[in-house]
Structure 1
Amino acid sequence: MILLCAHDQKVDAVSLRIAPNRLQFFEYESVIFYCEDAVYWEVVHNSKGKINSCSHTNQGKAGSLCIIKSVYPDDSGERWCEAKGANRSNGINITVTAGSVILESPAVPVMEGEAVTLRCRNKTASSNFTSNFYKDGAHVHSSSTEDMIIHRVSKSDEGLYKCNISGGGQSPESWLSVTEIETDHSSEPSCHIYLILRNVFTLMMVALLLLFVGLLHFGKLGATAN
């Protein structure tokens, strides 16, 4: 039944995940790419091929990991997981900017009915500004905070989003992808349980990966101090 549920929800056998879970990054930020449920797969860039800029890599039964400690604008582009003789995974298209504003939006498709937060983030971390959000070029929301919250996302919310900050600049554009729920009453309870367990597992993996990057970062600082 779980296999049926995974098929109904169009879940890839191998999935590319990213931490933090967003599509835009400031220059010099750290990024983790993780091929979930994959044995000896590699993270591939659409124009560069196999990623050789990983600060740390790990390949094993749980998945394949690539950590980039500092990203640059030329790291922008689509990435996916790939193995010889196998289909490629889903793709994640990131944008790295040297600018002062980014839009934080989910890197992977969100399910209909979920709550989604879009965040207009200023590199200088100032909180005294107005954020304006745009979808497909049209203004859709203004906020005195960083956030635009879609409480129950639907397929009609899918599109190309960007934001700007009054006096602070504008972000690049990123695509928000929404997955429609395919109702199958015979497998609906099992599907619900499967999705909950899968999301919990993914959150645990992301937390562990972020902890790992933090330990690497502090270790690097300690070595520099010595």
Structure 2
Amino acid sequence: MKPSESGVESVSNNGSNYLINPLKPFDSGEYWCESDTGEYSNTVNITVHGGHVILESPPLPVTEGHSVTLNCRYKKTPSDLTADFYKDGSLIRTESTGVMTIPAVSQSDEGLYSCRHPELGRSPESWMTVTGATPSPPSPFTGTKM
């Protein structure tokens, strides 16, 4: 999202990083970057809440077979948090960097995700929808001439 579209008065640009201050729940949404040449980055869905921990997840839905990265962050400063990742309320793994990657998403990965830092608290849950992979076009017939 371009700063002019964010509706936020206090936006500071530090190179390719943007700081929105103060951050409010209505700042939740889909964010992306645009280069000087008009190219767009991948989007990220960010939910803002009153707590200190946020879960950055890809925009919905994700395609089966693709890689997905979930990032657990402390909202005031960029940081590498040791975080527990949960799916549907159950602990699935702990990552010392606060980043969890699912190399090839499948339908069984669909569900509610959250993360928790032992001292800073838990993020809100975020639903991840997984859609089927797009089928490849049929290969052309490679018969012999008669």
TM-score exceeds 0.5: yes
Aligned length: 112
Mind listing any 5+ residue stretches in structure 1 that lack a counterpart? 1-31, 34-54, 57-65, 79-92, 188-226
Q: What residue in structure 2 maps to residue 169 of structure 1? A: 121
Mind listing any 5+ residue stretches in structure 2 that lack a counterpart? 9-19, 31-44, 140-146
* TM-score (normalizing by structure 2): 0.64
Q: Whole-Å Cα distance in 2 between the matches of residues 155 and 125 of structure 1?
A: 31
Q: What residue in structure 2 maps to residue 194 of structure 1? A: none
Q: Whole-Å Cα distance in 2 between the matches of residues 94 and 147 of structure 1?
A: 15
Q: Whole-Å Cα distance in 2 between the matches of residues 107 and 136 of structure 1?
A: 18
Measured against aligned partners, the alpha-carbon deviations of 1:76-130 in whole angstroms (never above 9, x if no partner) come to 589xxxxxxxxxxxxxx86321321000100232211111111110134443x42
Q: What residue in structure 2 maps to residue 68 of structure 1? A: 7
* TM-score (normalizing by structure 1): 0.43
Percent identity (aligned)? 50
The amino acid that maps onto 1:67 is S
Q: What residue in structure 1 maps to residue 84 of structure 2? A: 132
Among 117, 130, 135, which residue is 1:178 paired with? Answer: 130
How large is the RMSD of aligned CA atoms in angstroms? 2.8
**2:47 aligned with 1:95:** yes
Name the structure where helix makes up a greater proportion of residues: 1
**Alpha-carbon distance, 1:136 to partner:** 0.6
